[in-house]
């Protein structure tokens, strides 16, 4: 478990900035047009990422890369365990290249970065990569409109899939886009992510306003991911869970960083603002329930890592039942 300490000047004046804040320029959602799996406002999420990448010429966005950079480091270790060199790797929801810039020639010849926010995709044009890079501005939810079926050797996704509306659907698209015996590797936020912030906001709203509304987006858990990967048709599944804990001076710095990460709330039906009194109460509750002795507060990011392979005749398979030649009694 890695603990980051983020010590910066307290910005106590930013009361109107929060994880629940909404882009005023995003298009309103017509409830009559909401599709069955439409949980997130993808247009609002794209605008949030664009603004995060543009704020102060991307300076603030780069400062808050610490969570994605740490997860990318842990993902590259898992990729290196696969003793294979890929001609091309597709980085789905790449952002500016947190994972892609860690790739080396011994692993792949080329990386294709696909991102729904054009400004975030091109945020760091001067970044040096060890492999050839191609950037594609497209929506991750429409993968098969961008790539051909059975065309990819490897697809990775580093902290992007938690904003996809139809997660089972995108997993099926990824499997279809892979070549036989192609590998899919991803990291996404799990259900316990930011539980401290969620509980503080809910308790504050109940106390000050008599009810609650969604401020932290719904997320999956490791059991769900295992089932979804299996239903999508992946084999040789690997699912594990890890945590990244970050210490902040107060709840305000956490919310500022979430905004600058482009991780503000994008749930359809979200509130446009939170009252100042509610936020003040939430900050006090956060510190009381979860605060450290030194006055800082923790934020937990639960990370689910998954690996799945597209079926192929050459893959190893278990022997049929009853073909074993060694008795367990002999082994024990």
* Residue 329: count of CB within 10 angstroms of its CB: 6
CB-CB contact of 251 with 287 (8 Å): yes
Give the per-residue pLDDT at 89: 97
* Residue 83: count of CB within 10 angstroms of its CB: 5
For residue 249, give the nearest of 8, 15, 67, 2 by alpha carbon. Answer: 8
CATH of domain 42-194+218-246+301-310: 3.40.50.150
Mean pLDDT of the chain: 84
pLDDT in tens, 268-302: 877 667 788 889 999 999 999 999 999 899 999 99
* Position with higher pLDDT, 160 vs 3: 160
* Distance (Å, whole) CA 269 – CA 146: 30
Give the per-residue pLDDT at 4: 47
- Give the percent of the chain with pLDDT over 70: 86
Give the per-residue pLDDT at 206: 86
For residue 20, give the nearest of 297, 272, 197 by alpha carbon. Answer: 272
Length of the chain: 332
Q: What is the DSSP string of 149-162?
A: TT-EEEEEEES-GG
H-helix or E-strand containing 110?
strand 108-115
pLDDT in tens, 148-200: 999 999 999 999 999 998 899 999 999 999 999 999 999 999 988 999 998 99
Structural domain spans, the chain: 42-194+218-246+301-310
Rounded to an integer, the average pLDDT of 35-58 is 84
* Position with higher pLDDT, 324 vs 66: 66
Q: Over the Cα atoms of the chain, what is R_g?
A: 21
For residue 285, give the nearest of 230, 168, 206 by alpha carbon. Answer: 206
110: left (phi over 0), alpha (psi -120 to 50) or beta: beta
Give the per-residue pLDDT at 320: 76
Task: Give the CA diameter of the chain.
Answer: 72
Span of 22-26, 29-33, 40-44 with lowest mean pLDDT? 22-26
Give the per-residue pLDDT at 207: 85
């Amino acid at each position: 478990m890695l603990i980051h300490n983020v010590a910066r000047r307290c910005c106590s004046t930013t009361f109107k900035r929060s994880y629940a804040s909404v882009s005023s320029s995003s298009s309103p959602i017509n409830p009559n047009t909401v599709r069955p799996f439409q949980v997130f406002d993808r247009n609002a999420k794209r605008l949030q990422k664009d603004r995060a990448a543009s704020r102060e010429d991307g300076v603030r966005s780069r400062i808050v890369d610490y969570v994605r950079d740490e997860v990318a480091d842990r993902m590259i270790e898992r990729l290196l365990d696969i003793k294979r060199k890929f001609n091309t790797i597709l980085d789905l929801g790449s952002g500016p290249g947190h994972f892609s810039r860690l790739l080396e020639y011994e692993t792949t010849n080329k990386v294709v970065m696909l991102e729904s926010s054009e400004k975030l995709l091109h945020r760091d044009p001067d970044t040096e990569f060890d492999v050839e890079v191609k950037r594609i501005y497209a929506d991750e939810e429409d993968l098969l409109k961008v790539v051909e079926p059975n065309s990819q050797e490897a697809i990775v996704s580093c902290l992007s899939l938690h904003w996809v509306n139809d997660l089972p659907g995108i997993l099926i698209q990824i499997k279809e886009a892979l070549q036989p015996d192609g590998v899919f590797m991803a990291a996404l936020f799990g259900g316990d992510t930011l539980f401290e912030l969620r509980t503080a906001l809910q308790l504050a709203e109940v106390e000050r306003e008599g009810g609650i509304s969604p401020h932290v987006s719904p997320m999956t858990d490791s059991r769900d991911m295992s089932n979804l990967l299996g239903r999508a048709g992946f084999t040789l599944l690997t699912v594990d869970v890890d945590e990244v804990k970050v210490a902040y001076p107060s709840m305000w710095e956490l919310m500022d960083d979430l905004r600058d990460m482009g991780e503000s709330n994008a749930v359809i039906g979200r509130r446009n603002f939170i009252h100042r009194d509610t936020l003040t109460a939430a900050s006090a509750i956060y510190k009381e329930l979860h605060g450290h002795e030194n006055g800082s507060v923790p934020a937990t990011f639960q990370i689910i890592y998954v690996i799945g392979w597209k079926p192929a005749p050459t893959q190893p398979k278990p022997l049929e039942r009853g073909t074993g030649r060694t008795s367990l009694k002999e082994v024990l």
